[in-house]
Structure 1
Amino acid sequence: MLNKSIKFLIENKLVAVLLLALFVAWGVVNAPFEWNTGSLPRNPVAVDAIPDIGENQQIVFTKWDGRSPQDIEDQITYPLTTSLLGIPGVKTIRSSSMFGFSSIYIIFEEDIEFYWSRSRILEKLNSLPAGLLPDGVNPALGPDATGLGQIYWYTLEGRDENGNVTGGWDLQELRSIQDFYVKYALSSASGVSEVASIGGYVLEYQVDVNPELMKQYKIGLNQVVKAVKQSNQDVGAQTLEINQAEYLIRGLGYVKSISDLENAVVTSEDFTSIRLKDIANVSHGPATRRGLLDKEGAEVVGGVVVARYGANPMAVINNVKEKINELSSGLPSKTLSDGRTSQLTIVPFYDRTELIQETLGTLDEALTLEILITIFVIIIMVFNLRASVLISGLLPVAVLMVFISMKLFNVDANIVALSGIAIAIGTMVDVGVILSENVLRHIDENDQNLPMNTVVYNATAEVSGAILTAVMTTIISFIPVFTMIGAEGKLFRPLAFTKTAALTASLIVALFLIPPFAAYFFRKRNVKISFRYILNIALVIIGLLAVIFGFTLGLILVAFGIVGLLSIKEKLSADRANIINIFISAFAIVFLLAEYWRPLGVDRSIFWN
């Protein structure tokens, strides 16, 4: 079956070309790097800097203001923990009780689906027996995110038109804008699980009662609380029909100002209303807080954007930035006492984009340099330019195929996963070298003048079984890595997957794509001398134009063109021209490595590097 497929592709080279075009286009679409694909759509692999090795956990958060940790532990944490133990798939439960709130961490088995576990927790919370928790206490499930979900932090700051910090905004103003404008806008960005506000003061109405006046009017604190609650509500009634038109009757009572609360009636005596302002002082004030956000020694207001579980962090950050650009025009501004205009601005101070781009940039550069070094070694060792081109073409195509498999199997592109590709490059090249060397040997020994398709097929069929066995042995050796569990498995499984995918891709390219292209490249051609003249002169002209526009590598094209012209005029033999072309190619690769790699450092010249 294997040899029949190889023979079919050798005889039908158009199918091989279409397969190559499919792999290249599909791989470019799924590539995690910021490539300009032109008219091709972009559906990149999810990108992050490091793999998420956290446990499969959910968080249940419960507030009970003003209570001590011991009360929280006895009346909330312990009853909730014992009730949640019965959820299917629970591995362990950890909890902590702090002043005013309880946090319960439910750790599930690794094979439990993330959102399935959330639904089971919600079912259990909704079916808690009556009286298990204190009145008015409602536990809430945390955001659908992991420990690496915090992808973007920002602050709200006043800036002038030159971007300089101006100040002029108090912490209560900033917190209100964050809570009621910025937070809601960013929460609507695709892939965002939660936007948490940090810092500043939460505005609230505060009622400071006078005990002496309350004693004088014989008013209890419960009456004050009841009056405040009842003063902040609308009342709905029936409808009234007038002239065949129906009118809705509403009693408006929502609190909109301090005076609304001050005029709330607490009780009455001798037909005289005793209002809240008669026994208490009503004012705006900050809610009690237990933390703040500090930036360079100054207290600021900001927020944390948390990415949803399974979302592409890079895509979520881009969506958040688009939302920030949209809402920036609606942020308020004020004129300061010195005449400057202070425009409220969203300023990032943690953006994972930089870390992700640096990680991808490092690996992109490493892969490029590895491929260049490998091509250089192939050219020197194989000493055949056509065979070197075939083998070298295997690498980028196989890497693009790995991106396809990563997208299909939902493997994120991070520093560990992409390292697997870098590790596999040496083995990937071995497959192409073995096949190309055997094809060249069969071509040299073709005394019977067999067709090139037959020669390439015989050479490929001779080593296909050995190549398949060798690669499968390496792939099978990584099976134990796939069986790892816990944090170790999450860390190393992506590396094993990408290395296995890279080897599989190189096997597919070597056995099914290299043979048909080898049969085309190695066949003897009867090219007209006039066409060869035109082609080599064109190379010289293009090379000279490249040099004029500042591209030094244009000299390589000039050298190829001159060698071709000398070969046409029989000043050089075919073998000698091939040797010279090989040295020119090797010199070009060495120049590229010296220019971009700089192994001895940027302080040394290109010559020494």
Structure 2
Amino acid sequence: MFNRLVKYFLENRLVTFIFLIAFVIFGVVYTPFNWHTGFLPRDPIPVDAIPDIGDNQQIVATEWMGRSPKDIQDQVTYPLTTSLLGIPGVKTVRSTSMFGMSFIYVIFNDKVDFYWSRSRILEKLNSLPTGTLPAEVTPTLGPDATALGQIYWYTLEGRDPKTGKPNGGWNPQELRTIQDFYVKYGLSTAEGVSEVASVGGFIKEYQVDINPEALKAYKVSVMDVMNAVSKSNLDIGAETIELNNVEYIIRGLGYVKSLEDLEASVVAVRNNVPVRIKDVAFTSFGPATRRGGLDKGGSETVGAVVVARYGSNPMEVIDNVKDKIKEIEAGLPQKTLSDGSISKVTIVPFYDRTGLIKETIGTLESALSHEILISIIVIIVLVLNLRASVIVAGLLPIGVLMTFILMHFFGVDANIVALSGIAIAIGVMVDIGIVDVENILRHLEMPENNGIRGKKLMSVIYLATTEVRAAVVTSIATTIVSFIPVFALEASEGKLFHPLAFTKTFALLSAFILGIVVLPTLVHIFFNIRFDTKKIRKWFNSSLIVAGILFIIFWQTWTALALIAIGINNLLEYRWPEKRKEYTNYINIAIAVMVAMYYLSIEWLPLGAHNSVFINYLFVAGIVS
């Protein structure tokens, strides 16, 4: 079957180049690196620093303020835990009871779909029998996120809009109000955000302090005051009334909009005289009781954490959050302080995972670049054929792009472990191309194949490629099979190492596909080119020299000197004796190696950035030699 595929793509160059272009375009579209693709769309695979190895869990939180941990455990946590145990796919249920709060962690099997597990929990919570929980208790399901979902933390601070320096002027209660009723809602609309959880500051509330002596004098109980407060903040509809063929809607307006509205609420009536809240209690604005805070630099502040939705791309979510911050910044309030300066509420980030992700991906991007450059140098030095070296080295980056395509369709995220799999597979990817090309060169060096072109060259390439195809398939198959134990890992170990096994397998398959689809056709094209006349060879080499000069003038690319050197070397080939004609090819190979070493030196900087490029270049040249 593989032999027939090789023959088909050899004979149908158009199909081969369509596949090659598709591999390159889709690979660039799906690449996780921050490449500027111009007119091409961008749909990068999700990027994160490390793989998510947490459990497949959902959190059920229940609030019952003022109750002791013992009451929470007996009346909330235990009934909910026993009810949730019967959900399909549940591996275990863990719980924590604390003052006023209950947290239940429902851990599912890894194969259970994340959102399916959420729907089953919601079904169970909505179908709890009456009396399972206290009447005023309502359990809630946590955000659709994982433990690695916290991608962005920020604080709200008063700053001078001109200088950007801290200017103060806002108390924690004001900042918390701005966070809860403006910033939180704005950032929650960003694509990919699951939750914006506020922290720090004081929640503003109406507080009613009861006067026991007044309660006794008016013969009013505490429960009467509580009922009056709870019923005071309410609008009521009272149907309609028709007058003169006009229908009027009757409404009872009762929403509390000020302290005076709350103070005027009636608690009871004694001797036809209403007893109001202000008669038995003192009302005021004050902070709600809290059990934690947010400290930054030794001072209390207000902020929030942005949590990314499960399955989203953390880099994209962070970018969306930053765009939203730019939108809502104009609407943040400002005030003039007593000294005449202006203090504007500003969103100040203090944890942004973008830096960690970019450093991780950048490190691996550099590692891949170094590996490809080193492989190119090794190929050129060992193969000693510039055309064959260009073919094998050129297919390496295309194989990496194909790996990104497979990662996209199989849902493998790009992180330090996944991209390490590609780095590990680079050597084997090179081997596949070298085996094919070396065997083709061996056949072409036979006396009966000297100088062949066209159909005969195609037949030789087909014969040489199919001759080693079984060996290549066996090599790749054994390498992939050796990773079966890694695919068999479960739980956290499996989540950690599965991406590496997948990406290495994808890289090997990509190299194998290129060896069947693209490599034979490229060899046929490159080795079919002949400059038989001195005039054509002279024009071609002169064009190399002119191109090198133009590159230097317009783009200041000094590596274009290599084009000039190759062109001059080829023009002077006639000066070599007949026995030393092959020296021209060796000189061209040496020039290509020197260029590859230069790029490796400026990318790698093995002796450090404090040393010059020339010193680093000498070090790399010493290693290669």
Indicate the residue corresponding to 1:366 in structure 2: 367
2:597 counterpart letter in structure 1:
V
Indicate the residue corresponding to 1:295 in structure 2: 296
Q: 3-state DSSP class of the match of 1:239?
A: strand
Shift of 1:448: 5.4
CA distance in 1, matches of 2:567, 2:244: 96
CA distance in 2, matches of 1:523, 1:583: 23
CA distance in 2, matches of 1:170, 1:227: 31
CA distance in 1, matches of 2:532, 2:23: 31
Q: 3-state DSSP class of the match of 2:144?
A: coil
Structure-2 change in CA distance of 1:361 and 1:448 (3 Å) = closer
The 8 Å contact of residues 548 and 562 in structure 2, kept in 1 or not, is answered as yes
The 8 Å contact of residues 443 and 449 in structure 2, kept in 1 or not, is answered as no
CA distance in 2, matches of 1:594, 1:448: 40
The 8 Å contact of residues 531 and 537 in structure 2, kept in 1 or not, is answered as no
Shift of 1:542: 3.5
Structure-2 change in CA distance of 1:524 and 1:221 (3 Å) = closer
1:239 counterpart letter in structure 2:
T
Indicate the residue corresponding to 2:587 in structure 1: 580
Q: 3-state DSSP class of the match of 2:95?
A: strand
2:221 counterpart letter in structure 1:
G
Indicate the residue corresponding to 2:479 in structure 1: 474
1:563 counterpart letter in structure 2:
N
Q: Give deviations 1:496-547, integer Å, cap 9, x for gaps.
A: 0000110111111112210111011112524654444344333323433444
Q: 3-state DSSP class of the match of 1:283?
A: strand
Structure-2 change in CA distance of 1:569 and 1:17 (3 Å) = farther
Structure-2 change in CA distance of 1:39 and 1:574 (3 Å) = farther
CA distance in 1, matches of 2:602, 2:239: 83
The 8 Å contact of residues 372 and 589 in structure 1, kept in 2 or not, is answered as yes
The 8 Å contact of residues 263 and 277 in structure 1, kept in 2 or not, is answered as yes
Q: Identity of counterpart residues, as a percentage?
A: 59
Q: Give deviations 1:4-35, integer Å, cap 9, x for gaps.
A: 11011111112111111010001000000111
- The equivalences for 1:170-209 within 5 A come to 170-209=171-210
2:259 counterpart letter in structure 1:
I
Indicate the residue corresponding to 2:357 in structure 1: 356
2:470 counterpart letter in structure 1:
G
2:554 is equivalent to residue 553 of structure 1: no
2:459 is equivalent to residue 454 of structure 1: yes
Shift of 1:332: 0.8
Indicate the residue corresponding to 1:600 in structure 2: 607
2:519 counterpart letter in structure 1:
I
Q: Give deviations 1:232-267, integer Å, cap 9, x for gaps.
A: 111112224456543322111100000000111112
Shift of 1:561: 2.2
CA distance in 2, matches of 1:393, 1:566: 28
2:530 counterpart letter in structure 1:
R
CA distance in 2, matches of 1:85, 1:169: 48
Shift of 1:590: 1.2
Indicate the residue corresponding to 1:496 in structure 2: 501
The 8 Å contact of residues 381 and 589 in structure 2, kept in 1 or not, is answered as yes
Q: 3-state DSSP class of the match of 1:102?
A: strand
CA distance in 1, matches of 2:365, 2:312: 23
Q: 3-state DSSP class of the match of 2:295?
A: strand
- The equivalences for 1:255-274 within 5 A come to 255-274=256-275
- The equivalences for 1:469-548 within 5 A come to 469-526=474-531, 529-548=534-553
The 8 Å contact of residues 13 and 517 in structure 1, kept in 2 or not, is answered as no
- The equivalences for 1:426-437 within 5 A come to 426-437=427-438
Structure-2 change in CA distance of 1:568 and 1:13 (3 Å) = farther
The 8 Å contact of residues 529 and 568 in structure 1, kept in 2 or not, is answered as no
Q: 3-state DSSP class of the match of 1:259?
A: helix
CA distance in 1, matches of 2:245, 2:339: 60
Q: Give deviations 1:264-292, integer Å, cap 9, x for gaps.
A: 11122222222111111110000000000
2:84 counterpart letter in structure 1:
L
CA distance in 2, matches of 1:170, 1:385: 71
Structure-2 change in CA distance of 1:281 and 1:592 (3 Å) = same
The 8 Å contact of residues 49 and 416 in structure 2, kept in 1 or not, is answered as yes
2:560 counterpart letter in structure 1:
G
- Where does the alignment leave 5 or more consecutive residues of structure 2 unmatched? 617-625
CA distance in 1, matches of 2:546, 2:26: 35
CA distance in 1, matches of 2:237, 2:351: 48
Provide the alpha-carbon RMSD of the alignment: 1.6
2:140 counterpart letter in structure 1:
A
CA distance in 1, matches of 2:111, 2:615: 55
CA distance in 1, matches of 2:577, 2:322: 63
Indicate the residue corresponding to 1:36 in structure 2: 36
1:59 counterpart letter in structure 2:
I
Q: 3-state DSSP class of the match of 2:256?
A: coil
The 8 Å contact of residues 446 and 455 in structure 1, kept in 2 or not, is answered as no
- The equivalences for 1:208-227 within 5 A come to 208-227=209-228
Shift of 1:568: 6.6
Q: Give deviations 1:144-164, integer Å, cap 9, x for gaps.
A: 111001011111111111111
Indicate the residue corresponding to 1:132 in structure 2: 132
The 8 Å contact of residues 61 and 139 in structure 1, kept in 2 or not, is answered as yes
Shift of 1:109: 1.1
1:564 counterpart letter in structure 2:
N
- Where does the alignment leave 5 or more consecutive residues of structure 1 unmatched? none
Indicate the residue corresponding to 1:420 in structure 2: 421
CA distance in 2, matches of 1:518, 1:553: 26
CA distance in 2, matches of 1:309, 1:61: 18
Shift of 1:608: 3.0
2:66 is equivalent to residue 66 of structure 1: yes
1:479 counterpart letter in structure 2:
I
The 8 Å contact of residues 158 and 170 in structure 2, kept in 1 or not, is answered as yes
Q: TM-score, normalised by structure 1?
A: 0.97
Indicate the residue corresponding to 2:305 in structure 1: 304
1:106 counterpart letter in structure 2:
V
Structure-2 change in CA distance of 1:32 and 1:527 (3 Å) = farther
1:576 counterpart letter in structure 2:
Y
Moved more, 491-500 or 105-114: 105-114
CA distance in 2, matches of 1:34, 1:363: 13
Indicate the residue corresponding to 2:573 in structure 1: 567
Q: TM-score, normalised by structure 2?
A: 0.95
The 8 Å contact of residues 209 and 279 in structure 1, kept in 2 or not, is answered as yes
CA distance in 2, matches of 1:317, 1:200: 24
Q: Give deviations 1:544-592, integer Å, cap 9, x for gaps.
A: 3444554331222221222132237779965222111100011111112
1:300 counterpart letter in structure 2:
T
Structure-2 change in CA distance of 1:225 and 1:445 (3 Å) = same
1:381 counterpart letter in structure 2:
L
Moved more, 446-455 or 334-343: 446-455
The count of aligned residue pairs is 609
Structure-2 change in CA distance of 1:175 and 1:448 (3 Å) = closer
CA distance in 2, matches of 1:244, 1:41: 63
Q: 3-state DSSP class of the match of 1:255?
A: coil
CA distance in 2, matches of 1:467, 1:244: 92
Indicate the residue corresponding to 1:106 in structure 2: 106
CA distance in 1, matches of 2:226, 2:536: 98
The 8 Å contact of residues 197 and 302 in structure 1, kept in 2 or not, is answered as yes
Q: Give deviations 1:383-419, integer Å, cap 9, x for gaps.
A: 0000000110121011001000000010000000000
CA distance in 2, matches of 1:32, 1:571: 52
The 8 Å contact of residues 5 and 516 in structure 2, kept in 1 or not, is answered as no
Moved more, 226-235 or 549-558: 549-558
1:165 counterpart letter in structure 2:
P
